Structure 1
């Protein structure tokens, strides 16, 4: 299995009857292992819903989601929770670090929540992957915004997930710090740890951010309407401009 994520005829609706809202329509896409994919689209296009379904945070109304070869439709809620904990990592725009814990303790938290004793070497390796091994004893208040987001990435990596999902990870950062964070994500894909390939799937609204990816998927009205391989910020911006222009 060479796909980290595969979406087959994926659809998602909210509500029922006349009030039903379709967020995703017949999405077919494969995301290879060791790839960096950005998801873009106008406001309300369904990109956040796509990310949540692909990350097993929300169940689709129909279709299939396979993560590292596992069809999540066959999992109970308990099994799904355990699967997410072990096989996916998620990074939000907000860092969501516990202020009373050190960076090392924040990174170890998912392992503790799973009822296991964290392996310190694994925690330190996760911090080293994002360049913060020397900040292990620092609390969030002692770290910059970019460093806090890198701790959040290390926390998502500590269980060695099949896929790292990121929802607007640079949204709360300034341009310079955001670029540094994207370089960290790029390095995770290009220089994987000894235990295997890292796959990143990221939602963004910024063409400059999307240009760090290998591939950009474009959504409009809940449908996949195109893609760019080896994107540049100019090409992404042009495509987004096209999507923003209403068709007659």
Structure 2
């Protein structure tokens, strides 16, 4: 039985055509095992966010194939792709994207309600408890710290029990202590509950929480590190960002 929750095969993504064409991804083949924590790093413009967007079904590759939980994304209509993302994929971004007029629990349930579903109250309590906000369900974003707001965003991403959780700089707007708390929470979800996490980050300390770190350069995979510490990751990044004289 294949244990990969995501597979990318020869994925390329080009924007525009002709002389102004930009190749954001260039023949990338990768797999992400179920229950793993992967960090994606690379210099600015290396294709990190494009990789995440293609893997999550937010963007369609120009060529190649993407499979999530056994379903080939490139063959789906926009409607079916939207349904798959809603049910199988969770997203957490640097911006918390919470509605200020709604409570924590209302923000968590909003995507489901917009889709016409009424989430069970027990499930809402469960995910808020899971991210350590069981006592803050009735608080609005202005009454929560930045770290607590990101925890609400995590709970919102987890409400559908997604096969994979994608994070695009999820700790980028947080101070170091609060960022560590969120990373510890993600690490615990992987170790304790088998959640699959794929996280784009520029921070070697954040990347060190992952099982492996993938490096992109000019839209191509340029190696990986497994079980590396922040110093080793930072040193590797420095070699990728070095500009030859």
TM-score of the two chains, using structure 2 as the length reference: 0.98
List aligned pairs for 1:46-125, cutoff 5 A.
Answer: 46-125=47-126
The superposition leaves residues 61-80 of structure 1 with CA deviations (integer Å, 9 ceiling, x where unpaired) of 00011111110011100111
Aligned counterparts of 2:113 and 2:71: Cα–Cα separation in 1 = 24
List aligned pairs for 1:146-165, cutoff 5 A.
Answer: 146-165=147-166
| Counterpart for residue 133 of structure 1 | 134
**Are residues 1:215 and 2:219 paired?**
no
Shift of 1:36: 0.4
How many residues are paired up? Answer: 244
Shift of 1:94: 0.5
Aligned counterparts of 2:228 and 2:88: Cα–Cα separation in 1 = 28
Show structure 1 runs of 5+ residues with no match: none
SS in 2 for 1:134: coil
The superposition leaves residues 148-171 of structure 1 with CA deviations (integer Å, 9 ceiling, x where unpaired) of 000000000001111000000111
Aligned counterparts of 1:224 and 1:128: Cα–Cα separation in 2 = 37
**Are residues 1:205 and 2:206 paired?**
no
Q: Quote the RMSD (CA, aligned, Å).
A: 1.0
Aligned counterparts of 2:166 and 2:227: Cα–Cα separation in 1 = 19
Aligned counterparts of 1:53 and 1:127: Cα–Cα separation in 2 = 29
Q: List 4+ stretches of structure 1 deviating above 3 A.
A: none
TM-score of the two chains, using structure 1 as the length reference: 0.96
Aligned counterparts of 2:48 and 2:81: Cα–Cα separation in 1 = 22
The superposition leaves residues 1-38 of structure 1 with CA deviations (integer Å, 9 ceiling, x where unpaired) of 31111110010000001111100011111100000000
Aligned counterparts of 1:148 and 1:245: Cα–Cα separation in 2 = 36
